[in-house]
């Protein structure tokens, strides 16, 4: 299980990475706010441990940016900011837990496990990205108010993109989520279905929402 640690103190990073690795976690690290946000938006993490006071973007900005982009990866703030107002701010921004430094590693580990047991954030019944709207319960989607005529697989793929808006999704992840199986990596089944989906979701509209990330996969996001 992969965890992203965004922390600018080398000693804290070393201790946490070693401790979490000893308990079976794979830990990626970032020492600046900008690097942390880029990694967090790339997706694939079960949890992000986030400091507040970072070079570049502060932890507040990173979390707000993730939630605004629709990225619902659980976030645990680990910070020296111990004021009640700071704790409230962190939780209201969408953090799943808040732990103040100095801390005991055993407590951090317990909180990490608790957050992970809760699972991913509850999936909303409906979601919107720019003028794209999707009703996950009624299996309906529209863009600029016009209904989209999607096949079952196209809707499943669009729902995945919308639920994880702002995250780069690999072709492997898409096949696992949409087809619940692994295709031969040499096949282009994902590319074919994305092309068909784009023909309905993007081609008739000036603003494109589904973007190719060369060598990796696709991301759905509003790039303004």
* C-alpha dist (Å) from residue 12 to 35, 132, 223: 17, 42, 35
Assigned token pair, 88: 């409230």
For residue 61, pLDDT beyond 90: yes
Each residue of 161-184: pLDDT tens digit? 987 888 888 888 788 778 766 555
Say which CATH number the domain at 182 has.
1.10.10.10
Task: State percent of the chain over pLDDT 90.
Answer: 53
User: Cα–Cα distance between 118 and 71 in angstroms, integer?
Assistant: 16
User: Do 119 and 73 meet the contact criterion of CB atoms below 8 Å apart?
Assistant: no
For residue 204, pLDDT beyond 60: yes
Say which CATH number the domain at 88 has.
3.40.50.2300
Which one of 73, 94, 117 terminates a domain?
Answer: 117
Whose CA is closest to 45, among 27, 57, 31, 21?
27
Q: What is the pLDDT of residue 116?
A: 87
Exposed, middle or buried by CB within 10 Å (0-12, 13-18, 19+), for 109?
middle
For residue 122, pLDDT beyond 70: no
What is the domain range of residue 58?
2-117
Same domain, 65 and 151: no
Concatenated DSSP letters of 41-109? HH---SEEEE-SS-SSS-HHHHHHHHHHTT----EEEEES---HHHHHHHHHHT-SEEEESS--HHHHH
Same domain, 89 and 135: no
Same domain, 63 and 94: yes
* C-alpha dist (Å) from residue 118 to 38, 72, 122, 142, 222: 25, 13, 10, 31, 29
Collapsing DSSP to helix, strand or coil, 158 comes out as: helix
User: Do 54 and 47 meet the contact criterion of CB atoms below 8 Å apart?
Assistant: no
Each residue of 85-118: pLDDT tens digit? 999 898 888 899 999 999 999 999 999 999 988 7
Each residue of 3-54: pLDDT tens digit? 999 999 999 999 999 999 888 888 889 999 999 988 887 767 889 999 999 9
Same domain, 105 and 12: yes
Measure the CA angle with vertex 121, ends 116 and 123; round to 5°. 145
Which one of 76, 99, 117 terminates a domain?
Answer: 117
Which one of 117, 144, 168 terminates a domain?
Answer: 117
The sign of the torsion formed by the CA atoms of 150, 215, 66, 174 equals positive
Number of domains in the chain: 2
Whose CA is closest to 53, among 79, 29, 71, 27?
79
Same domain, 112 and 134: no
User: Do 121 and 72 meet the contact criterion of CB atoms below 8 Å apart?
Assistant: yes
């Amino acid at each position: 299980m992969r965890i992203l640690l965004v922390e600018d103190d080398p000693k804290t990073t070393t201790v946490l990475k070693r401790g979490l690795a000893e308990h079976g976690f794979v830990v990626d690290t970032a020492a600046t706010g900008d690097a942390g946000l880029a990694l967090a938006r790339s997706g694939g993490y079960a949890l992000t441990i986030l400091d507040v006071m970072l070079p570049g973007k502060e932890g507040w900005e990173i979390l707000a940016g993730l939630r605004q982009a629709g990225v619902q990866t659980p976030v645990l703030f680990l910070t020296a900011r111990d004021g009640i107002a700071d704790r409230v701010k962190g939780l209201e921004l969408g953090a799943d837990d808040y732990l103040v430094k100095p801390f005991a590693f055993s407590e951090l580990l317990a909180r990490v496990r608790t957050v992970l047991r809760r699972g991913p954030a509850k999936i909303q019944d409906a979601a919107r990205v720019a003028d794209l709207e999707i009703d996950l319960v009624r299996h309906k989607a529209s863009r600029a108010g016009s209904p989209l005529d999607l096949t079952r697989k196209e809707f499943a793929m669009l729902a995945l993109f919308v639920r994880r808006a702002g995250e780069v999704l690999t072709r492997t992840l898409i096949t696992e989520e949409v087809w619940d199986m692994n295709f031969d990596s040499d096949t282009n089944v994902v590319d074919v279905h994305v092309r068909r989906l784009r023909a309905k979701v993007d081609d008739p509209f000036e603003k494109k929402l589904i973007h190719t990330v060369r060598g990796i996969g696709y991301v759905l996001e509003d790039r303004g």
